[in-house]
Amino acid sequence: MGVLDNKCPACNAKINFNPVNQKWDCEYCGSKFSLEEMQQHNNASTVEANTVVVNVEKMGEMDMYHCNNCGAEIIADDTTTSTFCVYCGSTAILKNKIDAGRAPNYIIPFKNIKEDAIKAFTKVTKNKPLVPKCFKDIKNIEKVTGVYIPFWAYDLNATGEVSLTATDVTTWSDSVYRYTRTDTYSVRRHGYFDFKKVLADASSRFSDDLMDSIEPFNYDELAPYNHAYLSGFLAEKYDVEEEVGLQRATDRTMMTCNDLIKSSVRHGSVTIVNNGMVIKPEHCHYIMLPVWMVNIKYKDKMYTFAMNGQTGKMIGDMPIGGKETAIWFFGIFIVAFIIFFFVFGS
């Protein structure tokens, strides 16, 4: 079994992908390499040359590897494909786990750096006085981690006929009475829709609703999958099968079709009576998408916040702290009391 370790072609030190310049930067000699240069180096030395064959020990449901850089132990579960050595910080890409299943077709590289995620999260919490202090603690915010999350992306088409009922309600009045007229219409629509890369989260570790909310991604920046993009980031592999993801993608597609069809009917109230739309899959892509994530625990509950690593869109729910709420209302009371005293006290 192999641990893939991307090395600097110039000095053989560890090298990581830099989202800012979209190149691989060596923190030791300062060299910068494009994907083409990294590929040329890997082709010359072969990927296998950068892969150390190790014995993997089982620790319950976990696997234990050894860091290529310092020899320390690295613990990973079945779905982790890229992780860090906690001692030297080197990225360990677990090639055997990638090769054990279906290899990704595409990847969207990170465009936002860690500092962007910290700044965005800080901005969200800054103007929320009722949010507990732990969500504003920079030590918690700095734990934000870049993760490549697996997704199934389906090409689907939908065709069929839909029957709808549309209703218009008109009201008017005179000096004596108020009148209401209801007009009801039967409407039919026949449509064909073509959808490209409808996403379904392929990891059971992450909330589907959270992953849906950080969309959309710009597919113009999809790149053929390459292990080198994982350098400096965590990565997961799929544990939700393609067939399961297809059902979610189909449901999302049907909801979109319904919304589009209803919006084409120019009446006040529109209800679908009979839906004859049939959705058929054409192709499925396995892609890796960039997400910055931070988990903060408050009152025995874990709150997860995610930022789209390409567009910067931030998503997450924050609780209201009891202590903070009490202080805030007490402050409002004091201000109100002072104003009342000066206005009416004399």
Whole-number pLDDT of residue 102: 82
How many whole angstroms separate alpha carbon 293 and alpha carbon 151? 16
What lies within 8 Å, CB to CB, of 295 at 6+ separation is: 143, 302, 303, 304, 305
Asked if residue 247 has pLDDT above 90, the reply is yes
Range in 56-60, 69-73, 249-253, 296-300 the model is least confident about:
56-60
| Confidence band for 338, pLDDT divided at 50, 70 and 90 | low
Q: How confident is the model at residue 147 (pLDDT cuts 50, 70, 90)?
A: very high
Q: What is the mean pLDDT of residues 84-106?
A: 77
What would the mean pLDDT of 151-158 be, rounded to a whole number? 97
Q: How far apart are CA 25 and CA 74, in angstroms?
A: 24
pLDDT at residue 52 is higher than 50? no
State how far the Cα of 36 lies from the Cα of 42, in Å rounded to an integer: 10
Q: What is the pLDDT of residue 87?
A: 65
pLDDT value of residue 320? 56
pLDDT (0 to 100) of residue 57 = 57
Structure tokens that stand for 245 in this block: 């993801």
Over the chain, what is the mean pLDDT? Answer: 84
| 225 has a pLDDT exceeding 90 | yes
Q: Which of 13-27, 88-102, 143-157, 279-293 is least confident?
A: 88-102
Unique residue bearing structure tokens 């109230």: 269
Whether the upstream peptide bond of residue 9 has omega within 30° of 0, thus cis, is: no
pLDDT at residue number 98: 72
Q: Look at residue 99 and tell me whether its pLDDT is greater than 50.
A: yes
> Could you tell me the two tokens for 176?
């004596």
Pick the more confident residue, 285 or 60: 285
Segment 59-78 mean pLDDT: 72
Count CB-CB contacts under 10 A for residue 67: 22
Tell me the pTM: 0.82
**Which residue did the predictor score with more confidence, 58 or 215?**
215
Residue 208 has pLDDT above 80, yes or no: yes
Residue percentage of the chain with pLDDT more than 70: 83
Kindly tell me if the per-residue pLDDT of 176 is higher than 50.
Answer: yes
Q: What does the alpha-carbon distance between residue 202 and residue 219 come to, in Å, rounded to a whole number?
A: 18
Residue 76 has pLDDT above 70, yes or no: yes
Q: Answer with the residue of higher pLDDT: 79 or 244.
A: 244
Q: Is the predicted pLDDT of residue 244 greater than 70, yes or no?
A: yes
Least confident piece of the model among 31-35, 60-64, 207-211, 225-229:
60-64
- Distance between CA atoms of 306 and 196, rounded to whole angstroms? 24
* 3-class secondary structure, 9: coil
